[in-house]
Chains A and B, each alone.
Chain A
Amino acid sequence: MHPTFSIVFFTTASGAGFALLLLIGVGVPLALLPDDAGFGAAALLVAAVLIAGGLVSSAFHLGRPERAWRAFSQWRSSWLSREGALSVLTFVPAVIFAFGWLAFGATGGFAGLCGFLAAAGAVASVYCTGMIYASLKPIRQWHNPWVVPNYFALGLMSGFLVLDLILRFWVVRPVGIGLLSLAAVLVAWWIKESYWRSIDAGTAASTVASATGLGRRGAVRMLERPHTEENYLLTEMGFRIARKHRRRLRNIARLAAFLVPVVAVLVALVWGGGAGRIAAAVAVLSAALGLVVERWLFFAEARHTVTLYYGADQV
């Protein structure tokens, strides 16, 4: 599948933003996080920018962005519609929660409830994002049980890293969040490796033989394509990445998304203060880079069944 930057950015950014919202929405009412208005303003702003930025970015991918408002209507069947609807709906409790907290300093009661609701919306939104991909049967690498956990874990990990960084401007050495961040990164790493192992091992049920109904005489091989140059199907769904690039990019993702953040988080746990902030910032930046690579790969490694008509014998 062709990795479109707007979609890569959208899923990584909104994943981080929703996770951040989840953490604040749960952590602040439960007083696990400081209720400092400055912290609130910063954290909520970052979450809002990540979520909204992602959503706006995703609209760039649309052929008719001015009609994007129509995308909320088919929530009964469409994960994309559900995701759209939920991410917008999530703003309602999130805004009330933010208003209550920032304007009135209220983090419990109704505001706290709204925090919980926003957190639930965030979880649901990320679930929908994952399901958009996981529900697509023609793409084996997406129609995979690790995809939704993957979206959750990577989102949560990036949310923790961002939260850890922000928190460090109010708390010198947030050990708890630091440890949780560490755990989130390690869990995400494990899930990602499991995903990779799963797609590397599996083979699809669909083959060129099942795609054409042929094969009774023996192996089926493509002889000619219907067109000698490109077309929409090939640019959108025929994208292929060479094996050696794939290996290299996976290593970059491992390094930047997981290894560097792990080290940086450990450093931040030990040092705190300015150095801690720098280390946390390194963790965030490195993870951002790594997750963009990871998300790019998530698309680039995915093979659509339409390629069976264009020379692939398996997907």
Chain B
Amino acid sequence: MTDLPASPPGRKQLGLVIDLDICVGCHACATACKEWNSGGHMAPLTDFHPYGGDPQGVWFNRIHSFEEGDGEGARTVHFPRSCLHCAEPACVTVCPTGASYKRAEDGIVLVNEAICIGCKLCSWACPYGAREFDADVGVMKKCTLCIDRIYNDNLAVEERLPACVMVCPTHARHFGDLGDPNSAVSEMVARRGGLDLMPELGYRPVNKYLPPRLDRMAPAPGPAEPPAAPDPAEGNRLLRWIDRLLSR
């Protein structure tokens, strides 16, 4: 339903926390997402001209890369992008059919494929490009936060995580309840200064991004220079080693 559920503080808001400090841009989360969801709740994630001139398809998670800064302190940053399950998602309110909705119980934003008319308005309303249209079936698709994994009784408890979180080799992706200020993910966000993307638009994303650590670029403390040998003459330098006995 188009109406947004009330989100009083403390209300469960499931989402992801993505650590830009350690993401190496391997695309594992992108293909694992594609793989799980190809047979999952929004299946299939159709591909067009898969072996042709303009291969393209529906993906819920895509990995960009950016360069930040110039010179010494500059960095390359890999940037995964998927639905942020916003608290104020205009993608939901613009939807004329009620196909787009935000679940009251956990905040997940979903599309009901059975009633979507494929007007694409929600994709225009999403600032983050998180919605992809499946032209084959004429409906909008998007990240489900792996709703068919996270509550799945057929999976072991430790596997009830989004596919992209399970797979990430650097553990740069975390899943949890961001509505609960005491959850592990909320604490991580607080500790690391987790950010909202485009906060100026007021969508209040649930997913947070942990920015690359700044403090980490500084050289480890150490002498500015190795203590130089008092006498630069080479012969003397060798002499310094002569009486060191090393018993094998």
The answer on direct contact between A and B (beta carbons under 8 Å) is: yes
**In the complex, how many angstroms separate the beta carbon of B199 from the nearest chain A beta carbon?**
7
Does any Cβ of B come within 8 Å of A225's Cβ?
yes
Q: Which of B77, B118, B125 meets A136, CB within 8 Å?
A: B125
- Residues of B within 8 Å of A306, CB to CB, are 126-129
Q: Say yes or no: A210 contacts B197, CB within 8 Å.
A: yes
Q: Say yes or no: A138 contacts B117, CB within 8 Å.
A: no
Does any Cβ of A come within 8 Å of B108's Cβ?
no
Q: Which of A65, A224, A227 meets B56, CB within 8 Å?
A: A227
Q: Say yes or no: B117 contacts A67, CB within 8 Å.
A: yes
- Interface 9-residue window, one of B36-44, B88-96, B223-231: B88-96
- Interface 9-residue window, one of A23-31, A75-83, A155-163, A193-201: A75-83
What mask results when residues 47 to 63 of chain A are scored 1 for a CB within 8 Å of chain B, else 0? 00000000000000111
Does any Cβ of B come within 8 Å of A38's Cβ?
no
* Contacting residues of chain A (112-156) with chain B, CB-CB under 8 angstroms: 132, 135-139
Q: Say yes or no: A76 contacts B124, CB within 8 Å.
A: no
Closest to A302 in B: B124
Does any Cβ of A come within 8 Å of B64's Cβ?
yes
Q: Say yes or no: B125 contacts A226, CB within 8 Å.
A: no
Does any Cβ of B come within 8 Å of A202's Cβ?
no
- The verdict on A236 contacting B133 (CB below 8 Å), with A217-B68, A220-B67, A305-B201 known, is yes
Q: How many A-B residue pairs have CB under 8 A?
A: 210
Most buried by B among A67, A71, A214, A232: A232
Q: Which of B94, B97, B195, B196 meets A73, CB within 8 Å?
A: B97
Does any Cβ of B come within 8 Å of A309's Cβ?
yes
Does any Cβ of A come within 8 Å of B132's Cβ?
yes
Closest to A213 in B: B195
CA distance A62 to B209 in the complex (A): 34
Q: Say yes or no: A68 contacts B117, CB within 8 Å.
A: yes
Does any Cβ of B come within 8 Å of A284's Cβ?
no
Q: Say yes or no: B135 contacts A226, CB within 8 Å.
A: no
Does any Cβ of A come within 8 Å of B12's Cβ?
no
- Residues of A within 8 Å of B202, CB to CB, are 137
Q: Which of B1, B68, B81, B138 meets A62, CB within 8 Å?
A: B138
23 contacting pairs across A/B (C-beta < 8 A): A61-B120, A64-B118, A70-B115, A71-B97, A78-B2, A132-B94, A137-B201, A213-B195, A214-B68, A216-B68, A217-B73, A218-B73, A224-B64, A226-B30, A226-B64, A227-B59, A231-B57, A232-B58, A232-B133, A236-B123, A237-B123, A306-B129, A309-B79
16 more contacts with CB within 8 A, not counting A73-B96, A212-B197, are A67-B117, A77-B92, A80-B119, A135-B94, A137-B125, A214-B212, A216-B211, A217-B69, A217-B212, A217-B214, A222-B65, A230-B54, A236-B124, A237-B124, A305-B128, A306-B127
Interface residues, chain A, with chain B CB atoms under 8 Å away: 1, 61-65, 67-68, 70-74, 76-81, 84, 132, 135-139, 205-206, 208, 210-227, 229-233, 236-237, 304-306, 309-310
